[in-house]
Amino acid sequence: MAEMPEVTVSVSELVALLNQTYEFAFPGIVITGELANFKVSRGKWVYFDLKDDEASVRFFGTVYMLPGPLEDGMLMHVRGTPHMHERFGFSVNVQTMQPAGEGSIRRAAELLTAKLRAEGLFDPARKRPLPYPPQRIGLITSRQSAAYADFTKILAARWGGVRIDLIDVQVQGEAAPEQIVSAIERFNERAKPPEVLVIIRGGGSADDLAAFSAETVTRAVAASRVPVLAAIGHEIDVSLVELAADKHASTPSNAAELLVPDKQTELRAVRQATIDMYDYLQDIFESRRERLQDFVVDATESVERLLKQQHTQLQSTRQLLAVLSPQAALKRGYAIVRQENGRVVRSAADAPVGAIVRIEVDSGHITAEVTASNKKG
């Protein structure tokens, strides 16, 4: 058997050769292990180990790759590339990292919750009212998911005419947080954004729902200039996205119920309101009719009383005029003496001797000549 030729390389050449081999053989690899010796340097660089019962591997990355606050003992999924450094030896350069297992995911969520709560991201005073009902909805979910089917079905059944703009994203896995953040930003950057953003996902394990408790996604929801409604998982699941949203629903179906009224209920309410309004108007009409009838009766009685009073007064006036009438005086034997020109003789001077006068009596008149005229006194 022929001997293999001996290869002699320098240290730096060996490092370069190993890195070429790593890049070819492991362009990206996901490693699962327990977090140990976790440290952040200068607020920028991250150093930690992943270990199991038999080995430990060093990792290096930046704080921008952190899913949130972490602590030793957590089980982590870390995607990275193996690398041999000229001075610091072998490590894995971190690309992405996420807690793994319900215990670690829960603990990471607890740490991140405390951090974001201290910053005020979950403060009720930040919550904005949702439009009711909206005309345009920005929906962020997977088009193939049951959550999408449930939400759109309930929305269409309850209320028509609502436009839904969907951005199809992954709702679990490594790519999910980045896609969800991008969708939120795209809706917010539109010249005419939707009236409300709806982020939904059906139930699942803690791993399945982890994207909706990622710090980047939670901060994107809190920073959205468009109000956000979130419904992640089942009623017992509460993600950080739901805490940061302006309102959260127990399920995707409940999200649709919170956004729009039920048209059948509204139609029944309109019908009942119409009946109530008709009854109200009927009551008003009947009340006005009764008042009008009472007014007519009162007015008629008032007019009758007034006419009776005027009639009585007229009769009294007639009687008084009859008593004061010259004809009445003539009937009692009096007479009216008039000059030839028709003027009444009121004194002896009006009828001098020789004047012709006309004497009116009850039954006619007498023409006479004045033969004597005497003045009183």
Residues 253, 297, single domain; the answer is: no
| pLDDT tens digits for range 260-276 | 998 888 788 888 888 88
Residues 231, 311, single domain; the answer is: no
Collapse the DSSP code of 150 into the 3-class scheme (helix H, G, I; strand E, B; otherwise coil) and give the result: helix
Residue 234 lies in a domain: yes
| Last residue in a domain, options 235, 260, 285 | 260
Residue 375 lies in a domain: no
Residues 19, 66, single domain; the answer is: yes
Residue 128 lies in a domain: no
Residues 78, 107, single domain; the answer is: yes
Residues 100, 20, single domain; the answer is: yes
Residue 33 lies in a domain: yes
Residue 111 lies in a domain: yes
Q: What is the pLDDT, as a whole number, of residue 174?
A: 82
Q: What is the pLDDT, as a whole number, of residue 1?
A: 54
CB atoms within 10 A of CB 94: 19
pTM as predicted: 0.63
| pLDDT tens digits for range 4-22 | 677 788 888 888 888 888 8
Looking at the structure of the chain, the number of domains it has is: 4
Q: What is the pLDDT, as a whole number, of residue 327?
A: 72
Higher pLDDT, 98 or 136: 136
Q: What is the pLDDT, as a whole number, of residue 224?
A: 96
| pLDDT tens digits for range 69-82 | 899 989 999 999 99
Residue 223 lies in a domain: yes
For residues 249-257, give the mean pLDDT.
93
| Last residue in a domain, options 308, 324, 340 | 324
pLDDT tier, 2 (very low <50, low <70, confident <90, very high otherwise): low
Q: What is the pLDDT, as a whole number, of residue 100?
A: 85
| pLDDT tens digits for range 122-135 | 999 999 999 999 99
Residue 42 lies in a domain: yes
CB atoms within 10 A of CB 91: 18
Whole-number Å distance between alpha carbons of 248 and 238: 9
- Would you give the DSSP letter of residue 365? E
Residues 255, 304, single domain; the answer is: no
Give helix then strand counts, H and E, for the chain: 10, 13
Residue 242 lies in a domain: yes
For the cut 70, the answer to whether the pLDDT of residue 377 exceeds it is no
Burial class (CB in 10 A: 0-12, 13-18, 19+), 55: exposed
Whole-number Å distance between alpha carbons of 297 and 305: 12
For the cut 90, the answer to whether the pLDDT of residue 249 exceeds it is yes
Residues 352, 285, single domain; the answer is: no
Residues 22, 89, single domain; the answer is: yes
What's the CATH number where 246 sits?
3.40.50.261
Domain, as residue range, for 336: 327-369
| Last residue in a domain, options 73, 88, 118 | 118
